[in-house]
Amino acid sequence: MTPQPQSPMRKRATILDVASAAGVSRQTVTRAMNDMAGISQETKERVQKLAAELGYVPSRFAKGLVQGARTSVGLAIPDLTNPYFPSFASSVVEAATQRGWNVVMDDYGHGTASAADAAARLSPQVDALIGYLAPHADEVQTLMGRRPVVSLDSPATEGTAGGISFDYSHAARLGLDHLSTSGCRNIVFLDSNRGGPSGGRSAAAAAVAAETGIQLTRIQADPSAAAAREAVTLLAAGGIRPDGMLVFNDLMAAGALKALQEAGLAVPGDCPVIGMDGIPLGELLTPELTTLSLDLRAVGRAAVGLLDGLLSGAIKDRSPEAFLTLRHQLVLRQSA
């Protein structure tokens, strides 16, 4: 409360400064700060007040050293700008908070950084790591040593302690079935051009198409709305008129929607569109986006749950239980 400048004093006050100012011992200060028993109300208040005046903040390092780590988990995410990731991050933060963990975040989207860079920064600070790491999941686990890494959407062949993957065959089947039932015969799969997690979706779509005899053309773009929009505009300008579209993710689908409308194709009339992921944004588009939806909060919860098991030893590293597969669900709205 007293605005006491004390500016020249650059060094942090320690517990001993408080103790000597109050004329008591370290331990008594500890008792006062942590509301422990064995101290009179009077002394406790005096010490607390003095501590505040001196700007005393217990060193988290000293505390952690002696008490044995409160766990903090790293969260590595490619791009907070894609609405999918904040939804995911938010559920991770919630689940972690419930367990009393804290979350150190790194967003490696800007610049040319990769998940490995993020992990290198995070590694010295955390006891475990969750993230979208493909195709560097291996490298990240190496960086983390024995500390568990849960990787999302990377092939289980990558050697992380645990992982969550998605059943893209199932998703592709749901999506393509719906489109072909709606009469589409000339479907385009708009894929992301990023090496990483994309492979799964496009491969699954191709496989399902081949199996069911659906004609499927694959085009690619950066996984952003703007790039998707441009790609579809280009496609339409080339005279190609798909009569159905399955898109890598909802954000790209939003861009595709725009481009199709601009090209004079009605959605869903001329060309139904199905997105993937189920981000809240979908409901705000016109037409509202039909999508293969993931329960986003469940994804975060599952990731944290796995980590909990791995940390506690209830789940063994790389054991079958350490890998989960989640399924998409077709949410019908207006666009298909």
320: left (phi over 0), alpha (psi -120 to 50) or beta: alpha
Work out whether 81 is an interface residue with a copy of itself (CB under 8 A): yes
Beta strands in the chain (DSSP E): 72-77, 102-107, 128-131, 149-152, 162-166, 187-192, 216-221, 244-247, 273-277, 290-293, 323-326, 329-331
Going by C-beta distance under 8 Å and a sequence separation of 6 or more, which residues neighbour residue 306?
150, 162, 163, 164, 315, 322, 324
Cβ atoms 178, 160 nearer than 8 A: no
Going by their DSSP bridges, the two strands 216-221 and 323-326 should be labelled as unpaired
**142 is a site residue for DNA (CB under 7 A):** no
Q: Is 36 in the site for a copy of itself (CB under 8 A)?
A: no
Site string (303-322) toward a copy of itself, x via CB under 8 A: ----------x---------
**Residue selected from 22, 32, 75, 214 as contacting a copy of itself according to rule CB under 8 A:** 75
- Among a copy of itself, DNA, none, what does residue 30 contact (CB within 5–8 Å per kind)? DNA
Half-sphere exposure of 144 (CA within 13 A, CB side): 33
Identify which range of 37-45, 95-103, 137-145, 234-242 contacts DNA by CB under 7 A: 37-45
Instruction: Give the separation between CA 208 and CA 211, rounded to whole angstroms.
Output: 5
Shortest CB 251 distance to a copy of itself, Å: 8
Q: Which residue has the tokens 């501590």?
A: 51
Q: Which residue is associated with the tokens 């208040």?
A: 45
Q: Does 26 bind DNA (CB under 7 A)?
A: yes
Stretch that binds a copy of itself, among 22-30, 49-57, 239-247, 302-310 (CB under 8 A): 49-57
Picked from DNA, a copy of itself, none, the partner binding residue 284 (CB below 5 to 8 A depending on kind) is: a copy of itself
Q: Can residue 39 be called a binding residue for DNA (CB under 7 A)?
A: yes
By CB under 8 A, is residue 147 in contact with a copy of itself?
yes
Asked if 4 is part of the footprint of DNA (rule: CB under 7 A), the reply reads: no
Taking residues 90 to 109 in sequence order and writing x for each that binds a copy of itself by CB under 8 A, - otherwise, the string is x--xx--x----xxxxxx-x
Per CB under 7 A, the list member of 50, 56, 96, 309 interacting with DNA is 56
Closest CB 172 distance from a copy of itself, rounded Å: 24
Give the binding range for a copy of itself (CB under 8 A) out of 39-47, 78-86, 233-241, 322-330.
Answer: 78-86
**Nearest CB to a copy of itself, comparing residues 313 and 320:** 313
* Rounded-to-integer distance, Cα 268 and Cα 289, Å: 10
State in angstroms the smallest separation of the CB of 62 from DNA: 3
Give CA–CA dist 189/209, Å, rounded: 10
Identify what 181 binds: DNA, a copy of itself, none; CB under 5 to 8 Å per kind. Answer: none
Helix (H, G, I), strand (E, B) or coil at 328: coil
Kindly state the number of chain residues that form the binding site for a copy of itself, as judged by CB under 8 A: 58
Q: Which of residues 204-243 bind a copy of itself (CB under 8 A)?
A: 225-226
Residues in the chain: 336
| Residue 314 burial (CB count, 10 A) | 9
In the bound complex, what is the minimum distance in angstroms from residue 8's beta carbon to a copy of itself? 10
Contact by Cβ (8 Å): 106, 76: yes
Interatomic CA distance for residues 124 and 173, integer angstroms:
43
Residue ranges in contact with DNA by CB under 7 A: 11-12, 14-16, 23-30, 33-34, 38-40, 43, 56-59, 61-63, 65-67
